Amino acid sequence: MNNHEPTPNTPLPGVRVAGLLAEFDGPEPLRLAAERVRDLGYVHWDVYSPYPVHGIERAMGIRPTVLPWLVLLFGVAGCAAAILMQWWMNARDYPVLVSGKPLWSLPANIPIAFELVILFAAAAAFIGVLGLNRLPQFWHPVFSSPRFRRATTDGFFLGIEAQDPRFHETSTRELLESLGATTVETCFAPATRPGLPAWVRWAGVIGVLVALVPPLWIARARAIRADRPRVHPIQDMDFQPRYVAQGPGPLFADGRAMRPPVPGTIPRSQPPADSLLETGLDNGKPITHFPLPVSQALMVRGKERYEIYCAVCHGLAGDGRGPVAIRALERAEPGWVAPRSLHVDAVRQQPVGQLFQTITRGLNTMPSYAAQLTPEDRWAVVLYIRALQRSQNARLDDIPRDKRALLER
């Protein structure tokens, strides 16, 4: 305490000098002062400003924080935790089989791994910045200065703490004044650090012990063997109020739980009105003739549709060497059934109704094309297939007399 001149703060008994706080006139004088204090070798000091002053880290010689590395570490941990969790829970501990897909595959695990990377890393950044800044810290010697309240509005301060080896109340004060401080004042702290009251400590200990009871109880329940069934608080799944499909129910006048089909409902097996055209079946047997007039226009339409929908697998010539089929064979796709050549006897002997059925319903890996091709279009494709088959097994008689000379040459 400087005895020569009075300061706004007067020391009380049981109070020690904690440091000096100097106010500066803006960020630029503060930065210049910080450079001097740094060069003089002070260690326990800091500057205070209402916003981060540009370039102050270099002026003070602050080393980069480890925070980014902490965030990286936790991000990696989040990724590992997410992948391990999903693998263990869905592929290992309780394998969940969904539509025959692999029990564990990376793509399906990416969204949750991504979210947990962000969650872990963000939590590390948030908790890390508070921890490294030693927050919450509700008391600090600088708070003993009423003037310091302006540090969060427009005050620029430099504080040197008494614990610094170079700190000397008079010489440090003179230094700060020589650096252009507008005011320099002494900050105080209680001589002995007051501890928490005993009852608060005891309450804390008891609180922690009580909080441990439920997890310990659950842990015990999971570890021991018991004769009685486990505690099962939510019994929704055990007692489900519902009506059985074929049973009675009070909701409708006829006393049935289930509704009868609406009038006009037809079974799936019932043939549609124009069954020859739409199914290619007559009494369940494939028809052998076209149920619509055959024309050059129908043939042209069939060629066009065939080349759009069929040729990718069956090939333009119908030999089963379309690009999709070739690629599937090259890749040895599991479950792939290669398309048969349309020119083998087994296919050539099929009645047109059966070819129509194959297009309508699909066969092996071939899906139904009923959604893409109208019945007329399907017949057009069948017609074109017939033409293809004939072209690949043609006899000399099939060629018009005037064109035969071209082949014989």
Contacting another protein within 369-388 (CB under 8 A): 371-372
The nearer residue to another protein, 144 or 350, going by C-beta atoms, is: 144
258 is a contact residue toward another protein (CB under 8 A): no
- Say which DSSP state 150 is in: G
147 is a contact residue toward another protein (CB under 8 A): yes
**Where in 148-207 is the site for another protein (CB under 8 A)?**
149-154, 156, 159
The nearer residue to another protein, 151 or 313, going by C-beta atoms, is: 151
101 is a contact residue toward another protein (CB under 8 A): yes
Q: In this chain, which of 2, 15, 56, 366 binds another protein, going by CB under 8 A?
A: 56
* Residue 36, Cβ density class (10 Å: 0-12 exposed, 13-18 middle, ≥19 buried): middle
116 is a contact residue toward another protein (CB under 8 A): yes
234 is a contact residue toward another protein (CB under 8 A): yes
| CB of 288 vs another protein, minimal distance in Å | 30
* Residue 166, Cβ density class (10 Å: 0-12 exposed, 13-18 middle, ≥19 buried): middle
**Where in 324-343 is the site for another protein (CB under 8 A)?**
none
What the block records as the tokens of 5 is 């001149």
For residue 275, the Cα-to-chain-centroid distance in whole angstroms is: 50
What the block records as the tokens of 69 is 């590395």
19 is a contact residue toward another protein (CB under 8 A): no
Stretch that binds another protein, among 55-63, 206-214, 277-285, 342-350 (CB under 8 A): 55-63
Stretch that binds another protein, among 26-34, 202-210, 251-259, 345-353 (CB under 8 A): 26-34
130 is a contact residue toward another protein (CB under 8 A): yes
Q: In this chain, which of 16, 43, 106, 146 binds another protein, going by CB under 8 A?
A: 146
Nearest to 33 by CA among 215, 178, 191: 178
67 is a contact residue toward another protein (CB under 8 A): yes
The nearer residue to another protein, 53 or 352, going by C-beta atoms, is: 53
The nearer residue to another protein, 128 or 322, going by C-beta atoms, is: 128
The nearer residue to another protein, 54 or 168, going by C-beta atoms, is: 54
Q: In this chain, which of 132, 258, 363, 394 binds another protein, going by CB under 8 A?
A: 132
What is the SS3 string spanning 214-277? Answer: HHHHHHHHHHCCCCCCCCCCCCCCCCCCCCCCCCECCCCCCCECCCCCCCCCCCCCCCCCCHHH
What the block records as the tokens of 193 is 């650090």
DSSP codes joined into one string, 277-334:
HHH-EETTEE-SS-SS---HHHHHHHHHHIIIIIHHHH-TTSSS--HHHHHHHHHT-T
Partner residues linked to 184 by β-bridges: 22
